[in-house]
Amino acid sequence: MMRQSFNYGTDANVHRVYDLDAIRRDFPILKREVNGKTLVYLDNAATSQKPVQVIAELTRYYRDYNANVHRGVHTLSQEATAAYEGAREIVARFIGAKDPCEIIWTRNTTESINLVAHTWARANLVAGDEIVISEIEHHSNIVPWQMLRDDVGVVLRYIPMLQDGTLDMAAAKRLIGPKTKLLAITQMSNALGTIVPVAELAALAHAQGAIVLVDGAQGVPHLPTDVYAMGADFLAFSAHKMLGPTGVGVLWGRMELLEAMPPFMGGGDMILSVTMQHSTWNDVPHKFEAGTPNIADTIAFGTAIEYLEALGMEAVRAHERELLDYALDRMVDVPGVTLYGPIDRSIRGGVVSFGLEGVHPHDIGQVLDSYGVAIRAGHHCAQPVMARLEIPATARASFYIYNTRAEIDALVDAMREVVRYFGGVHA
């Protein structure tokens, strides 16, 4: 089955030019009206929108070659298998993996991290072994390790977050020591946009013989990513935050680790043989992919990555950095606003987390929605971050490839309406 090649726009060379108008034409949802206003979608850290190329690939599977994979000799099954495994090859290329078989399909980043916790960690860690994480982690990279602690008796150590949202690297050097067996660290904070010096931390962990798991849910969609350059042993991320469908996640792991790990779930396709007394396991990656997978969405994820590759991740990062600079410069003029996150913009992703004096972030979000501006309000599944900042929640605007300066202007104008609406000292 030949995968449809991707180019946005009509010019065969346009994929090397960051043509924002052409990109936006690929996202029909951006033309939608919300409460009588053109949608301004600034909730990309939660999930991204999907281009017509991804939607078309999803439809094409069901329309043209809907069949199960790995199990049929008929034409449709062979075509589905080729497209499904082709997506695995695309993901491997995108993150710099050496072998597509090191790519494990899961449902999302959360499942990928839990897979490591339930297989590698339970097979290799004992009571007293230490796992180092940080205070800026998403709950998905905290709770599985707390559950492991309660079941196995491992010890959790936390790299503190400084007031500006960066990690205390001096403390990290003290915490990562001879008892450290795993460093589980985010590539980028979803709550504050902090870009973590993963390679530096990984070097500290490897010097102690520890394994490194990177939560790339926020980083991989926005930054050039190379698993070897960052020093990862495992990398987890999700399709839906990078133009792909929901329900597809990735776990990359070094082959020698994956081969030594026990299966995560039992069932079809993850076995070589089954008798009533005994079963043997399939090769990696199939050992970890029990049952019929999410075929259509996985294939469409390959198309999403091709879209990003056509733009170039350096260009994606540059575009978001420009939007971040513009947004931070404009937001400081909103009366009563507090901005959270690193002062050094070079280590920030396209995330602006903020509060307004005397106004709950949920109220900010509701008023902004009345002007067609979609943001996120809450603790962002990062309650330790909020506790460290001594606040219950923040409002969060997050950018992606299709956002514009005009949309940031719309955000700021709507924020001024929030100020006027709630009155008080800001009116």
Say if residues 41 and 30 touch (Cβ distance below 8 Å). Answer: yes
CA distance 10 to 110: 38
Is 101 one of the annotated active-site residues of the chain?
A: no
Give the CA count within 13 Å in the CB-facing half-sphere of 28: 5
CA distance 327 to 341: 13
Dihedral sign, Cα of residue 115, residue 116, residue 122, residue 124? positive
CA distance 49 to 401: 10
Instruction: For residue 362, give the 3-state DSSP assignment.
Output: helix
Say if residues 276 and 186 touch (Cβ distance below 8 Å). Answer: no
Give the CA count within 13 Å in the CB-facing half-sphere of 255: 9
Q: Name the E strands within 84-230.
A: 103-106, 130-134, 155-159, 180-186, 211-215
Name the catalytic one among 22, 67, 76, 381. Answer: 381
- Using CB atoms within 10 Å of the CB of residue 291, give its burial: 0 to 12 exposed, 13 to 18 middle, 19+ buried: exposed
Residue 14 has what DSSP assignment?
G
What is the distance between the terminal CA atoms of the chain, rounded to a whole angstrom?
Answer: 62
* Residue appearing with tokens 């973590």: 196
Q: Which residues contact 378 (CB under 8 A, 6 or more apart)?
A: 361, 362, 393, 394
In DSSP terms, which residues pair with 376 in a beta bridge?
396
Active site residues: 381
